[in-house]
Amino acid sequence: MLRCSLRILFCYSSLLHPSIYLAPLYIDLPIPHHPPASRSPILTLIPSHLLSPVSSTTSTAMITPSYFEMEDSARTMHPIFQCPSIIQEIFRLVESRRDVVQVALTCRFFHQHALDVIWELLDYGILPLFQLLPNLGCREEKHDNLNAGSYRYRGKERTTKTYFLKDTVTPADIEKLKSFGRRVWSISCARRKKTDLIDASTYIAVLSALQGHLLFPNLRSVHWDLYSRESSGIFYLFHSPRLTKVELHCSNVQTINPSWIHDISMFIHHLGREKIQLSHLTIDIPCTQALADLVMSAFPSVARLALDLESNTIIGYSHLSSMPNLHLLEECHLEGESLQFAFGQDTPQLTFSSLTLFSLTCKFDQALKLLSNSTFPALVHFFHSFWVPSGSVVRVISLDWVAFFTALRKATTSTFNDIYLEPWRQTRTQREGIYSSFLRNYSGVAFDTIFPCLSQFDLEGFNVDFPFFRSLTQDNLKTIMQRWPRMVSLSLHTHAREKFHLSTLKDIAETLPRLHFLRLDIDPTDSESWEATLSSFFAIPPLLELYLRFPAHVTESSAGGSGLGLGLTRLGQVAGFVDTLFPLLHRFDEIDFGRGDVCDFDDYEEPLGRLMTLLSQCKMARRMERQRYDVGEVVKVEEEVVEEEDDVIYQLYNRSPSPMVERIESVLI
């Protein structure tokens, strides 16, 4: 990778100045983990996660001085390297920031330009920046996690690290922070560890030492997720006149600290007071009425807006109609049980002229009112999470889907092609209580009643993440596929006990050639010959993600229950059938609405031998076999650890529907 990076660097300079050709320079340089300061001082200014440890056999003496590190009398600097913007652009062409470090080590002249690129994005939070302070200390605390929100970590010991200042911040320290802070354009916590925390006193000390100066004057983008033990004082460091994108999230709504709401409100008020031209604003933390009013009126250039509202915060017609950026909105996400859209007889319709994606989480009747009194000429995607009220089963069952889809059709144009519907599940308590009650009592809608309304749309995505239909037959599915042959994403679930057979997957693969995402109810206990089903199938469907929901008796038996059962033998055949039918598949999971959505399965400790366990192992084994024979996958997923994995690999390599049983049983039982 280093050779490629340097080739780009020098060949690029030759293209800009063809009169002088600089031959590509190849220098293989190890990066010492703890280098001597006199040898490579730049390494002390690079975030630690970009420094790769070197084996004990590697010597730092291998570092060869480049042409540009010779004495001034022995070298001539080409004019191309006197233009900082060109050097900056060259470094941005380097594939990874680790390679930027390698290139920087070849020449002292590149150090400052490399640091500009390396520090441009802080995706580990701001801890790498604070680690430049010489008096930063760290204390470790062990927790038993008895009340952890995730079932995976509950009851397991966890160690958290809290960083604090052991002494005051000197003027030299603050100048060092500012010199690197000015390089930062984007801050996120996408890669930071939840166990690494910064003490609130550290933020206070740094803010005091800054004396009103900005730490990140060139900051453009902030994407931050607050954790339960973290201080919200960090928001006072994010002030920047160049901010255009702000995303604030909370990983667990139940642990929200009141100080977070106050500090976030102060931060947003500051942005509005300074007339910061935001184009993207997301506040995924329940907003007070005052904060919601400010957001809806103070940012006229926002094109992407997402708000989560407190239970007593009301957003209605007057807020939307008075928004200065209503005609500029391209994406809008509104979430709150108090959304109220009261339209009078003489009230003019709302027109969202540029809106392409609209996500609405509210009561069903309020969503219907908004759709009935608005127009969306550019809308492409519509997502609705309808609020499921507690203790009101009759109201839930009487949802008027015919009126809903009729209003949606009148409000949109031919550009509209994607629908997603689901019951609202904000917290785990709602998933286990109200949400489960809804699933038990909602009987679904008849296909013959609702499809005439749905057929008015020319859809490429139709996803209902709950048992929407009362029942579906093979003829109903054929009707759906004939009406929407360009379908890319499809989710179909029914309340009825009868499910589709596995052969249905072959019909879908043949009829929907563009399908990439599929969620379906399947009964894998049918006795049809799967080998015969596949013998006449030669296409390579582009399906990437498949989620199957099995009947209750299959799930119960696989988990040790007393149902009819499927058995590990047939489960192995199911996995082999799917693997053969969809060779490009990179995600294959089981859906169980009773335990939550598939995206939450990582939080559960599944019993050994359950369907989900087997399917995960089959998926993992196929991926490792592809890697063994150097066959690439569409998407690289995270590695999983399985005992006796070689036995599983040996049986799965054949890729036929049947011979993968005995070895799998020896692993799982």
Residue 654: is its pLDDT beyond 60? no
Residues 6+ apart with CB under 8 A from 596: 425, 428, 431, 603, 604
Cα separation of 169 and 211, whole Å? 12
- Among 52-66, 97-111, 461-475, which stretch is predicted with the lowest mean pLDDT? 52-66
Q: How many residues does the chain have?
A: 669
Which amino acid does the sequence have at 371? L
Find how far residue 349's CA is from the centre of its chain. 35
Q: Look up residue 194 and give its DSSP letter.
A: T
Read off the pLDDT band of 441 (50, 70, 90).
confident
524: its two tokens = 């894998």
- Position with higher pLDDT, 633 vs 513: 513
455: its two tokens = 């057929």
Residue 15: is its pLDDT beyond 70? no
- Among 174-188, 402-416, 449-463, 630-644, which stretch is predicted with the lowest mean pLDDT? 630-644
Q: Give the largest CA-CA distance in the chain.
A: 89
148: its two tokens = 């952890």
Given this model, what pLDDT does residue 354 score? 95
Strand-strand pairing, 489-492 and 461-464: parallel
Helix orientation angle between 171-181 and 200-210, rounded to the nearest 10 degrees: 90
Given this model, what pLDDT does residue 149 score? 47
Q: What is the DSSP string of 241-253?
A: TT--EEEEEES-G
Given this model, what pLDDT does residue 389 score? 64
The top-scoring range by mean pLDDT among 68-82, 166-180, 546-560 is 166-180
Closest by Cα among 371, 364, 369, 373 to 399: 364
Given this model, what pLDDT does residue 344 score? 72
Beta strands in 277-323 (DSSP E): 280-287, 304-309
- Position with higher pLDDT, 390 vs 178: 178
pLDDT tens track for 251-279: 666 667 777 888 889 999 999 999 999 99
Given this model, what pLDDT does residue 527 score? 55
Percent of the chain with pLDDT over 70: 63
Percent of the chain with pLDDT over 90: 33
Residue 22: is its pLDDT beyond 50? no
Indicate the helix (H) or strand (E) that contains 381. strand 381-386
Q: Say what the pTM is.
A: 0.75
Given this model, what pLDDT does residue 463 score? 96
- Position with higher pLDDT, 226 vs 513: 513
Given this model, what pLDDT does residue 152 score? 46
What structural domains and CATH numbers belong to the chain?
2-118 (no CATH), 119-305 (3.80.10), 314-490 (3.80.10), 497-669 (no CATH)
Helix orientation angle between 567-581 and 503-511, rounded to the nearest 10 degrees: 10
What is the arithmetic mean of pLDDT over 144-149?
53
Q: Side-chain half-sphere of 516: how many Cα atoms within 13 Å?
A: 5
Find how far residue 203's CA is from the centre of its chain. 28
What is the arithmetic mean of pLDDT over 440-461?
92
3-state secondary structure string across 120-143: CEEEEEEHHHHCCCCCEEEEEEEE
Which amino acid does the sequence have at 542? P
Backbone angles phi, psi at 11, to 5 degrees: -70, -35
Q: What is the DSSP string of 160-188?
A: EEEEEESSPPPHHHHHHHHHHHTT--EEE
Cα separation of 579 and 582, whole Å? 5
Cα separation of 95 and 205, whole Å? 37
Find how far residue 410's CA is from the centre of its chain. 33
Q: Is 446 left (phi over 0), alpha (psi -120 to 50) or beta?
A: beta
> Other C-beta atoms within 10 Å of 184: how many?
21
Q: What is the four-CA torsion angle of 117, 118, 122, 125, rounded to 10 degrees?
A: -160
pLDDT tens track for 351-366: 999 999 999 998 899 9
Give the C-alpha distances (Å, rounded to integers) separating 503 from 118, 389, 581.
Answer: 52, 39, 10
Backbone angles phi, psi at 249, to 5 degrees: -130, 165
Mean pLDDT of the chain: 74
- Position with higher pLDDT, 144 vs 515: 515
What is the arithmetic mean of pLDDT over 534-542?
75
Residue 598: is its pLDDT beyond 90? no
Indicate the helix (H) or strand (E) that contains 223. strand 221-226
CB-count burial class (<10 Å; 0-12, 13-18, 19+) for 59: exposed
Cα separation of 307 and 361, whole Å? 10
Given this model, what pLDDT does residue 595 score? 46
350: its two tokens = 């709302």
- Position with higher pLDDT, 135 vs 661: 135
- Position with higher pLDDT, 92 vs 647: 92
Strand-strand pairing, 136-143 and 196-198: unpaired
What is the arithmetic mean of pLDDT over 479-483?
96
Find how far residue 213's CA is from the centre of its chain. 34
Closest by Cα among 255, 170, 248, 182 to 214: 182
Residue 552: is its pLDDT beyond 70? no
pLDDT tens track for 367-404: 999 999 999 999 999 999 988 766 544 444 678 999 99
Query: How many degrees, rounded to 5, is the angle at CA 421 between CA 419 and CA 426?
Result: 135
- Position with higher pLDDT, 13 vs 206: 206
Contact assessment for residue 350 and residue 322, using Cβ atoms and an 8 Å cutoff: no
